[in-house]
Amino acid sequence: EVQLVESGGGLVQPGGSLRLSCAASGFTFSSYSMNWVRQAPGKGLEWVSYISSSSSTIYYADSVKGRFTISRDNAKNSLYLQMNSLRAEDTAVYYCARGVPAAIAWFDYWGQGTLVTVSS
CB atoms within 10 A of CB 43: 10
Give CA–CA dist 85/77, Å, rounded: 27
State which residue, 27 or 59, has the beta carbon closest to another protein. Answer: 59
Instruction: Tell whether residue 111 is a contact of another protein (CB under 8 A).
Output: yes
Q: Are 59 and 81 in contact (CB under 8 A)?
A: no
Binding residue (CB under 8 A) for another protein from 18, 29, 33, 35: 35
Beta-bridged to residue 22, according to DSSP, are 6, 79
Q: Is 94 in the site for another protein (CB under 8 A)?
A: no
**Interaction of residue 62 with another protein, rule CB under 8 A:** yes
Residue 59 binds to another protein (criterion: CB under 8 A) = yes
User: Please, which residue, 35 or 78, has the CB nearer to another protein?
Assistant: 35
Which of 16, 31, 9 shows the shortest CA–CA distance to 86? 16
Closer by beta carbon to another protein, 15 or else 108: 108
Exposed/middle/buried for 74, CB within 10 Å: 0-12, 13-18, 19+? middle
Binding residues for another protein, rule: CB under 8 A, are 35, 37, 44-47, 50, 59-62, 65, 95, 97, 100, 103-113
